[in-house]
Amino acid sequence: MTNNSSLIRIENLKIGLEGGTELVKGIDFSMGRERVALVGESGSGKSLTARSLMGLLPDSLHVQADRFELLGEAVLPYNQRQWNQLRGKQVAMVLQDPKYALNPTQNIGRQVAEPLVLHQSLSKNVRIEKVEHMLDAVGLSNPAQLRKMYPHQLSGGMGQRVMLAIALINDPQFLIADEPTSALDHAVRDQVLELISSLVEERNMGLLLISHDLQQVADYCERVLVMYQGQLIDQLAASELSNASHPYTKTLWSCRPNIDKRGKSLPILNRKQIASLTEGAAR
Q: Decide: is 129 part of the binding site for another protein (CB under 8 A).
A: no
Q: Decide: is 267 part of the binding site for another protein (CB under 8 A).
A: yes
> Phi, psi at residue 147, to the nearest 5°?
-55, -35
Q: Decide: is 262 part of the binding site for another protein (CB under 8 A).
A: yes
Instruction: Give CA–CA dist 260/107, Å, rounded.
Output: 46
Q: Decide: is 17 part of the binding site for another protein (CB under 8 A).
A: no
Extract the runs of DSSP E, i.e. beta strands, from 137-280. 174-178, 206-211, 223-228, 231-237
Quote the DSSP letter at residue 267: P
Q: Which of 12, 43, 67, 99 binds another protein (CB under 8 A)?
A: 43
Residue list 132-191, contact with another protein (CB under 8 A) = 156, 185-187
Q: Which residue number, 57 or 188, has a Cβ lying nearer to another protein?
A: 188
Q: Decide: is 204 part of the binding site for another protein (CB under 8 A).
A: no
Is the four-CA dihedral 256, 257, 261, 266 of positive or negative sign? positive
Contacts of 142 (CB under 8 A, 6+ apart): none
Q: Decide: is 252 part of the binding site for another protein (CB under 8 A).
A: yes
User: What's the first-to-final CA gap in the chain, in angstroms?
Assistant: 29
Min dist CB 183 to another protein, Å, is 9
**Total Cβ atoms within 10 A of residue 61:** 15
Residue list 184-203, contact with another protein (CB under 8 A) = 185-187
Chain residues binding another protein by CB under 8 A are: 41-43, 156, 185-187, 212-215, 251-252, 255-259, 261-262, 265-269
